[in-house]
Structure 1
């Protein structure tokens, strides 16, 4: 059987206020094209279909159109709800759509009900188990009850615990399907995975991690949640990553999908196919005048840009001037030369020992700017504090 693994579309997401819908549409069109070219039997989407629980109408229309195009080309579609999705909303029509070859599963109580996909090239059906994102406090009590519903639920469950409970139900179903290869689609944080800044934390600390060992027994595990493409147990347990970069921490990612081939013995071979769509991201650093004039930054003009300015003092209207050369500048940071920060500890001591509001303001200014205030700046600070003492009068 051949399947296409993708995840974390985050439809409706913005990038520093800029809509990504047009680029997302291009990415999904490319996914449809790749599914058609590879003649895949199924497309699995491992959660975070949308960027928020109530997505904009345009994002919903794009999702629906994409599913229609995938089905027109003959691929079954199996999708799950991620931690960004509303489990109820995305799967409300699952019972109706399933008859048309589209499964969108958000109900963990149906995790042990697989989608049976018949390979185009012959052979036994493959059982694809859609396991939506699990919330321990919500799903744990139900999962902890045994098949007869009479087991007491533990008071505290980790993601590892609820995942193993759900997988236990799936494995019980698999016992009645000895001739079927099995694929799991899940949205979770597997220990050892590499994170990005754009992922929403599932919990504080490491209690959200699920061990790779929990997924033993499946021929392929299609994961979602982490935004970088990566594998954790050879090609068998893997994240496809997002179709577009959603933060500057992803600027060096190669966004792709995974074309997975299961042979007659259930062994998975994977081809990672770059999507090659969307505006690239880059980070540039230097003084404002240099960035606005130097020819070596010409390649950044069409990119989404994060700028780190190294001017001693943040120039006036810096963002407007950068925007004139880099129309898609998205983020501005100010990092004065490190030599000016060498006395940071002494300035911190000055802040702690400041004996008056003016001294405290002057120490804060020095800490932020990496230098003492000039006489004119010190006078402005003094006048501002005096105005506050007078009740805001000038």
Structure 2
């Protein structure tokens, strides 16, 4: 079976108030072309279909058009889960009806346990889950983190897993050790958002969303597809595309890069060099300019936009130097003491007793996982 694994479409997103729907339509059309070219048999969408819980009418229309081309016109099964940007309840409205057309949506914990089977593969749709939601569902007050939540879900799945077939998990989460980007919404404070790789050890392939870099983690069975396109200037060096997953006796995953409608760049130079385009930059791309020698210029952004209409950020080059690093004596201090020293240095007060207990628990969890 040939599978397209995509995630983090973020349809309806804006970047510095600039709408990206035109770019997203271009990327989705490329995916349709790849489906035909590669004879894709099934499509996985691993969360963050929309950029917000209440997407605009235009964003919904773009996604509906894409799904119609894939699921109705080509008759391909689509297996999707909700991400942390999606409104799970709203996204899941009508999923019982969609299932009759091979469009399967996982938006609630209960959807995780009954696999969707195609050929000789069981697909488990595990949506993004908040610890509070898992705590309520399992009636277990000991569930405090994303690790606890997904560990509990996977343990229940393992109890009924058919080892005669391949098993693929689809989810939206932060695997411990993954590489972050600025455009990903933080799931929670501290280490409680991280899920250890070993939780998914029993699956043959794990198709994930949330981290926008397609090589956010190096693993033999766990893969991120990356985001549909570049959604922040921290992603300028990241390739964008999809994962082509082939399942036969083995499971193989290859990243396939796609062309962007408008690429994204961070440029450091002088104001005059950029305004006169002495660097021969492509004028229609997205830019963050970090420029020197422009403090005397009145309204420099407006002038730059006459040459580069899609410049999105402008910074003074001398203001982009890294801030002075925090220095701490670490040779004789344990992790908790270093954290307490840092908090005292950057805030008005120190750590109270309750906060110290939380820090001690989190440090113990991290140490237990890294042993």
The two structures have a TM-score, normalised by structure 2, of 0.83
Report which of the two structures shows the higher radius of gyration computed on alpha carbons: 1
Q: CA deviation at 1:54?
A: 0.4
Which residue number in structure 1 is paired with residue 287 of structure 2?
305
CA-CA distance at 1:180 after TM superposition? 1.7
Between the aligned partners of 1:210 and 1:239, the Cα distance in structure 2 is 14
- Structure 1: give runs of 5+ residues left out of the alignment: 119-124, 146-152, 343-394
Query: In the alignment, which residue of structure 2 is the partner of 1:239?
Result: 224
Show the counterpart of 1:289.
272
Structure 2 match to 1:60: 60
Distance change >3 Å, CA 53–CA 126, structure 1 → 2: same
Q: C-alpha deviations, 1:329-363, integer Å up to 9, x for none? A: 10011133899x99xxxxxxxxxxxxxxxxxxxxx
What's the CA shift for 1:30? Answer: 1.2
The separation in 2 between residues aligned to 1:282 and 1:82, in whole angstroms, is 28
What are the residue-to-residue correspondences of 1:175-190 with 2, within 5 Å?
A: 177-190=162-175
Displacement after TM superposition at 1:235 (Å): 4.3
Map 1:64-83 onto structure 2 (within 5 A): 64-71=64-71, 72-83=73-84
Corresponding residue for residue 216 of structure 1: 201
1:13 equivalent to 2:13? Answer yes
Instruction: Please state whether the residue corresponding to 1:173 is helix, strand or coil.
Output: coil
For residues 189 and 195 of structure 2, the distance between their equivalents in structure 1, rounded to whole angstroms, comes to: 14
Match of 2:24 in 1: 24
Q: Trace 1:158-237 onto structure 2 (pairs within 5 A).
A: 158-174=145-161, 177-230=162-215, 232-237=217-222
SS of corresponding position for 1:325: coil
2:15 and 2:247 map into 1 onto residues whose CA distance is: 37
How big is the shift at 1:312? 6.9
Correspondence for 1:135: 130
Asked if the contact 1:159–1:208 (Cα under 8 Å) also holds between the matched residues in 2, the reply is: yes
Does structure 2 retain, via aligned residues, the 8 Å contact 1:4–1:40?
Answer: yes
Report what 1:92 is aligned to: 93
Instruction: Tell me the SS of whatever aligns to 1:92.
Output: coil
Partner of 1:363: none
1:250 aligns with 2:235: yes
Q: Please list the CA deviations of residues 274-294 of structure 1 after superposition, one character each: whole Å capped at 9, or x if unmatched.
A: 121321011112222222114
Counterpart in the other structure of 1:356: none
Deviations 1:273-321 (A, max 9, x none): 112132101111222222211421x224121110112227352211111
Per the TM alignment, residue 183 of structure 1 is displaced from its structure 2 partner at its CA by 0.4
Is the 8 Å Cα contact of residues 180 and 216 (structure 2) preserved in structure 1? no
Give 1:12 shift: 0.4
Q: Would you say the 8 A contact 2:128–2:172 is kept in 1?
A: yes
Distance 2:163 2:266 in 1: 52
Q: For the Cα contact (< 8 Å) 2:212–2:226, is it kept in 1?
A: yes
Equivalent positions of 1:45-56 (< 5 A) are: 45-56=45-56
Structure 1 residues 290 and 210: CA distance shift in structure 2, 3 A: same
Q: Residues 112 and 170 of structure 1 are in contact (CA less than 8 Å); yes or no, is this contact kept in structure 2?
A: yes
Q: How far apart, CA to CA, are the structure 2 residues paired with 1:37 and 1:24?
A: 20
Q: CA deviation at 1:142?
A: 1.3
- Bigger shift: residues 312-321 or 327-336: 312-321
Distance 1:154 1:70, change over 3 A: same
* Shift of residue 156, structure 1, vs aligned partner: 5.0
User: Could you tell me how far 1:47 is from its partner in structure 2?
Assistant: 0.2
Question: Match for residue 362 of structure 1?
Answer: none
Answering whether residue 331 of structure 2 is matched by residue 332 of structure 1, we say no
Asked if 2 retains the 8 angstrom alpha-carbon contact of 1:314 and 1:334, the reply is no
Match in the other structure for 2:330: none
Q: 2:54 & 2:106 partners in 1: Cα distance?
A: 17
Is residue 320 of structure 1 aligned with residue 302 of structure 2? Answer: yes
- Number of equivalent positions: 322
CA shift in 2, pair 1:132/1:309, >3 Å: same
3-state SS, counterpart of residue 160 of structure 2: helix
Structure 1 equivalent of residue 37 of structure 2: 37
Output one character per residue of 1:355-379: Cα deviation in whole Å (capped at 9) or x when no partner.
xxxxxxxxxxxxxxxxxxxxxxxxx
